[in-house]
A and B are shown apart, each in its own frame.
Chain A
Amino acid sequence: MECRMKKQLTITTETINETDLIATRTMSVGMGAVVSFLGVVRGIEEGKAISAIDYEAFEKMAQHQFNLLFEEMAKRWPIESVRLVHRIGVVKINEPSLWVEIVTPHRGEAFAACQWLIDEMKRVVPIWKKTID
């Protein structure tokens, strides 16, 4: 199960283009669920208006930690494909900073895997944010 899972990780300063990402989705005939998540920069952080968030990554370690999480996901759920894009650098409010897509046979494992991946990312992947007024 785990060796078949396709993984695509992108850490980029470029804008996340969800339309392009969806257009490049591939699914085999046995797959019945796609869960995708778009994280967007809010205009309010801790009660204060902001204009953007500046994301910083320790990129080499972030890539390694994401890959460890992908390996663990492959052990836990029958995932055909996981794709994740994380913006770094300055991301303005209302712009996406994170996009995740999970393809599985059934919706339950897709929702669970997506939730788990984002929770774990927030625990171990070395990316930080600094708000800009």
Chain B
Amino acid sequence: MLVTVHFYSYFRELTGCGEINETLHSGDTLGVLHDQLMARFPRLVTMRKSTLLAVGVEYQTRDYVLRDGDEVSLFPPVQGG
């Protein structure tokens, strides 16, 4: 299955892109995707613990099971205000 991944804030600099498509196996979780992305973009590893994960407009945890076509977002801690 295919999901789209968006990077926000300085995660764009860490990965060198704002958006990619990523192929996963059926039943893979957000955690599997995160690990796959850290393997591809090693600069994300330093932010592993503070990375926020969202699917659509909702925050999700690493055990969230992804579906084909999901829009995933990875970003650092937020700083509004």
Contacts and interface: CB of A to CB of B under 8 A. Distances in A.
- Main DSSP-derived SS at the B contact region: loop
Contact of B78 (A39, A127, A130): A127
Contact of B79 (A58, A64, A122): A122
A129 interface: yes
Interface of B: 6, 8-10, 52, 54, 56-59, 73, 75-76, 78-81
B81 A39 contact: yes
Interface of A: 39, 55-58, 60-65, 86, 97-98, 118, 121-130
A65 B8 contact: no
Nearest to B78: A126
A35 to B, nearest CB: 16
Contacts of A127: 78-81
